[in-house]
Structure 1
Amino acid sequence: MENLSAKYGKTLNLDKLTSYCPGCGHGIVTRLVAEAIENLGIMERTIAIVGIGCGGFSHHYMDIDAIEATHGRAPSFAVGYKLTRPDNIVFTYAGDGDTSAIGLGDLLHAANKGMPITTIMVNNTVFGMTGGQMSPTSLEGQVTATTVKGRDVSKQGYPLLVPELMRAMPGVKYLARETVATPKGVRKTKKSIQKAFDCQVKGLGYAFVELIVPCPTGLKLNVKGSYERCGKEMTDYFKPQVFKDETEQGHVA
């Protein structure tokens, strides 16, 4: 039998069977987060603050400590933890519903503080766990359990562009949006996640990465169709890019 622990490192908890749905983007993101922690050698001092939703399962598959926050409050939990244990590495992991709906105020205030914290927001444009309701990032015209005729921006507003809200904040030192829809996108995602953690290791300030991922169950699509939508419609609106990179001295993207 192949030695998966040797191949993928100790951070991944390989004794756990995943509860993510087939084709879910969370599985890719969780693995890349675990690899970043392993590559930087910070496993023993890293703690995850997870939100409510599918992202709340992520710590089940990583051999690190974790706190399950109340809905939307992961950034505030992370601020409190970082203030008491500044030498440890703390990151939040939650979906677009948890992060940009009830948690948007907590997120923006945490980012504006500029503390060395890392936030991973997994955006599949829907509340996946609770039945496929509209989230703040659901696309215009998107059919969900609560927008059966499609999202109408005249009634529900426009899909929220979260990193764009943070771009002018001086305390935000690494800011990116990536996607896992393609192999090239996964490679870029891996690089951005590691930079977001490295930003904290260097004590530079807040780091935020939004990840555009498919949700076959919530979108009621097969896996292939979900990835095609992710790579076209979703990334047409949520354009992958590095908004700000101050992880290297003198370099600003």
Structure 2
Amino acid sequence: MQTLADYYGKTLKFEKLFNYCPGCGHGIITRLVAEVIEEMGIREKTMAVVGIGCGGFSHHYLEVDAIEAIHGRSPASAIGYKMALPDHIVFTYQGDGDGSAIGLHELMHAANRGMPITTIMINNSVFGMTGGQMSPTSIPGQVTATTPKGRDVSLHGYPILVPEMMRAMKGVAYLARESVVNAKSITKAAKSIRNAFECQIRGLGFSFVEVISPCPTGLHLKVADAYKYTATETLDYFKPQIFKNALENDNEI
């Protein structure tokens, strides 16, 4: 029987199947998710629910079952799946546009509900797939396709700090902001992703990891310059930290 890999290998060249732009942080984060799932031995019972946008390509590179939800509705779809199959590990993989714009209400209610699912939100501070427009997380002064003179908070408001909004919710078990701007930050991001899944496995509540990621295409910068910009300008506003960690108080540790 011909496998899907055989089919694609014969009809398309594999190097044409990678959807992320050169230097995009999504590639790093997708690999971290894959490695954590493999290391934890949960692949056979893991379901990915992806959003619309660049993050929607992530399941192409993960050997797990996946659902593509309509824009912003990944948390609702994940909750439905988790209720039907509570022994499965369910996570959403969303961009900042999908998670903090059209899907912000879904995300907040999922977090407040405390359902043991996991959300990984990649924040690259632009709507990357549709042309680099300002997103809810574009930082003050950031030049985008829709803010050619930079984001003006007096006109556009302030960037949304999603984890800070969730911090007081009792249903949230693990809450972190990480980045992938260098090797040290990548190691920390991997640990947070693992902790988020661990909280779900133990049924401690909702877990959320925001990962700050460079978007060279959306920033109109060379790859090295995009990482430098993200490490300085973006992280100056979105400061990486662990906000909540129920694992520290779990008696099973």
* TM-score, L = length of structure 1: 0.92
Partner of 2:51: 51
1:71 — aligned with what?
71
The aligned residue for residue 169 of structure 1 is 169
Q: In structure 1, how many angstroms separate the alpha carbons of the residues matched to 2:114 and 2:15?
A: 37
3-state SS of 1:242 partner: strand
SS at match of 2:116: coil
What letter is aligned with 1:96?
A: D
Cα-to-partner distance string for 1:50-105 (whole Å, 9 max, x where unaligned): 00000000000001000000000001111111111111110000100000000000
Task: Tell me the CA shift for residue 249 of structure 1.
Answer: 2.9
Give 1:88-237 correspondences, 5 Å limit: 88-237=88-237
Q: CA deviation at 1:214?
A: 0.2
Answering whether residue 12 of structure 2 is matched by residue 40 of structure 1, we say no
Q: Which has the higher helix share?
A: 2
Aligned equivalents of 1:88 and 1:153: distance in 2? 42
C-alpha contact 1:20 1:27 (8 A) present in aligned 2: yes
Letter of the 1:115 counterpart: M
Q: CA deviation at 1:15?
A: 9.1
Q: Which string of whole-angstrom CA distances, capped at 9 and with x for unpartnered residues, describes residues 183-217 of structure 1?
A: 11001001000101111111111000000010000
Give the Å deviation of 1:39: 1.0
Instruction: Report if aligned partners of 1:16, 1:61 keep a CA contact under 8 Å in 2.
Output: no
2:60 counterpart letter in structure 1: H
**Matched residues in 2 for 1:147 and 1:15: separation?**
34
Distance between the aligned counterparts of 2:44 and 2:205, measured in 1? 21
Q: Unpaired segments of 5 or more residues in structure 2? A: 1-13
CA shift, 1:149, in A, is: 1.1
Bigger Cα displacement from structure 2, 106-115 vs 241-250: 241-250
Aligned residues: 238
Deviation by residue 1:141-181 (Cα, 9 ceiling, x = unmatched) = 11111111111111110011000000000110000000100
Q: Please give the secondary structure, in 2, of the residue aligned with 1:243.
A: strand
Alpha-carbon distance in structure 2 between the residues aligned to 1:16 and 1:217: 18
Letter in 2 for 1:82: K
1:16 Cα deviation from its structure 2 partner: 8.4
Residue 8 of structure 1 corresponds to none
Report the AA paired with residue 195 of structure 1. Answer: N
Q: 1:82-93 to 2 correspondence within 5 Å?
A: 82-93=82-93
Distance 2:227 2:39 in 1: 28
* Alignment partners' CA distance in 2, 1:158 and 1:131: 21
TM-score, normalised by the number of residues in structure 2: 0.92
For residues 15 and 21 of structure 1, what CA distance do their matches in structure 2 show?
Answer: 12
Unpaired stretches in structure 1, ≥5 consecutive residues: 1-13
Could you tell me how far apart the structure 1 residues matched to 2:198 and 2:176 are?
Answer: 14
What corresponds to 2:11 in structure 1? none
Counterpart Cα distance in 2 of 1:250 and 1:72? 32
